[in-house]
Amino acid sequence: MECSKDEMIEMFELMYTMRRMEITCDNEYKARNIRGFCHLYDGQEAVATGIQYALDQGDSWATSYRCHCVALARGGTVSKVVGELFGAIDGYSKGKGGSMHMYNKKENFYGGAGIVGAQVPLGAGTAFANKYKAKPGEPMNVAIACYGDGAANQGQIWESANMCNLWKLVRCSKRRRSQDWNKREQNHSQSYFTILPLLYTIAHDLLHRKQPLRYGNLD
Ligand SMILES: Cc1ncc(C[n+]2csc(CCOP(=O)(O)OP(=O)(O)O)c2C)c(N)n1
């Protein structure tokens, strides 16, 4: 396992900040100071942190509407994330996107998608772009698309997987905590990793998250 003491401390600080930020957002939402949607990420801090520390700056990342902490991990600040939730002009998306729509092109962060699963074709597109732009003989940037298991039976995910396999592009992330979809009734299989070419990791174990992605990044 490659992880220095300094890196461990940095990662802990990031996860701690995420947790405090999300609990504050939760309180503000319940006090009705944040309007519209508010999709929180507390409990999953290790996922975003492990991925971020496995990535290089040039790698691209798209995720679901549950994006506050991914935005933070991907070069964001607490004030920009929270500002966005309050509709402030200096929020992540100038206060026009809210909880579900935060972007940071400079840091290769592509949202924030309100439509369940929509980030996966987007992720496939950024993977294609990374491959297209890679210079011969030089390492290629990877693209990450995170989705929940409630999204896993979406047609667009399977179409993207098919295209990614044709183009040899696939990198995915999965977890097992759907917000409100009944897994047994709506999903034929919960073992997606046996069907799609995924790297299977233990979602909430920070180092287990970081290391396989690093491996996937380097192969
Ligand atoms: C195409 C589409 N269908 C339905 C919805 C309504 N919806 C919002 S969240 C959600 C559950 C998604 O579960 P999951 O992908 O596991 O994400 P989680 O909220 O659990 O992180 C649904 C069905 C939507 N936003 N988009």
| Residue 5 Cα to ligand 1 middle (Å) | 37
Mutate to test the pocket of ligand 1, among 42, 66, 122, 179 (most ligand atoms within 8 A of CB): 179
The whole-number average pLDDT for the span 141-155 is 88
| Residue 181 Cα to ligand 1 middle (Å) | 8
- Sequence-distant (6+) residues with CB within 8 A of 187 are 149, 152, 153, 181
User: For 20-65, how does the pLDDT look when each residue is reduced to its tens digit (9 = 90+)?
Assistant: 999 999 999 999 999 999 999 999 999 999 999 999 999 999 999 9
End-to-end CA distance of the chain: 16
Which atom, in ligand 1's list, is nearest to the CA of 152?
15
Where does ligand 1 bind, in terms of residues with CB under 6 Å? 64, 66, 114-116, 147-151, 177-181
Domain borders along the chain are: 5-218
Mutate to test the pocket of ligand 1, among 116, 120, 154, 178 (most ligand atoms within 8 A of CB): 116
Which atom, in ligand 1's list, is nearest to the CA of 115?
26
Distance CA 214, CA 205 (A): 15
Give me the pLDDT at residue 173, please. 47
CATH C-level class of 5-218? alpha beta
* Least confident interval from 7-11, 110-114, 171-175: 171-175
The whole-number average pLDDT for the span 120-133 is 93
pTM, rounded to two decimals: 0.84
